[in-house]
Amino acid sequence: NAGVTQTPKFQVLKTGQSMTLQCAQDMNHNSMYWYRQDPGMGLRLIYYSASEGTTDKGEVPNGYNVSRLNKREFSLRLESAAPSQTSVYFCASIPWGGGENTEAFFGQGTRLTVV
Amino acid sequence: GESVGLHLPTLSVQEGDNSIINCAYSNSASDYFIWYKQESGKGPQFIIDIRSNMDKRQGQRVTVLLNKTVKHLSLQIAATQPGDSAVYFCAVHTGGFKTIFGAGTRLFVKA
């Protein structure tokens, strides 16, 4: 099993350009998340999807949109990239639904630079 | 709102010594706590978790202690090895579906 797969791994954008970060998980998890990680800071939650068909804002949603395409896929879109969005983006999934184990499984990250 | 803090941004230990990484949280309603390890260029990986009805949990070479009175948790790594060098995050869950991460502590292990 691949776990959580993010594409692309690296991306450079010019200010004002748009792009979509893709995330897919093959673990049949209900919940999926997008975090950004800036140097010297922890992971900050951008958006999450508790289950297929629902999305909610996290701590830093401005400038982003998301789509939970199906249970497997959760994409993050930057409509008009800004230098402040230069960061490493991580997608994660969590089983939820009860039980002992509710750890998050993370992808390898997408390193985005906006110039 | 929720905030999670770490006492030390960098910790340097000698190989073979024990490491202790601390984390403070602010919301007394927090019910689930997780420690993650992040190696360079990789996503965070689960190490150990603890629920609010416990005060100690042990894994392989790792122990998490939870003090709800002062809203503090710690990660203890026994016999620290070079492979333990990484950034360690505590994460706090407070109902719903949100998990909030701390800033991270970078652990350096000296050979």
CA B63 to centroid of chain Cα atoms: 10
Residue A87 carries which DSSP code? E
Tokens of B7: 């006492």
Interface residues of A toward B, Cβ cutoff 8 Å, are 4, 31, 33, 35, 40-45, 48, 50, 56, 58-59, 90, 92, 94, 96, 102-109
pLDDT computed for residue B7 by the predictor = 47
As to burial, measured by CB atoms within 10 angstroms (0-12 exposed, 13-18 middle, 19+ buried), residue B52 is middle
CB B91 to CB A106 under 8 A? no
> Which residues of A fall within a CB distance of 8 Å from B102?
42
> What is the C-alpha separation between B20 and B7, in angstroms, rounded?
11
For A6-62, write each residue's pLDDT tens digit.
999 999 999 999 999 999 999 999 899 999 998 777 789 999 998 899 999 998 999
Q: Higher-confidence residue: B97 or B77?
A: B77
Nearest to B73 by CA among B84, B61, B88: B88
Q: Tokens 């998980």 label which residue?
A: A25
| CA separation for the pair B108, B106 (Å, rounded) | 7
B107 SS3 class: strand
**Has residue B1 got a pLDDT over 50?**
no
Residues of chain B neighbouring A59 (CB-CB closer than 8 A) = 100
**Per-residue pLDDT band at A104 (split at 50, 70, 90):** confident
Which pLDDT does position A94 carry in this prediction?
87
Between CA A79 and CA B17 the distance in angstroms is: 49
Report the relative pairing of strands B10-14 and B105-110 from DSSP bridges: parallel
Tokens 């948790």 belong to which residue? B73
Q: Which residues contact B79 (CB under 8 A, 6 or more apart)?
A: B16, B17, B18, B61
Specify the 3-state DSSP secondary structure of A93.
strand
Q: Kindly report the average pLDDT of chain B as a whole number.
A: 89
How many CB contacts within 8 angstroms connect chain A with chain B?
56
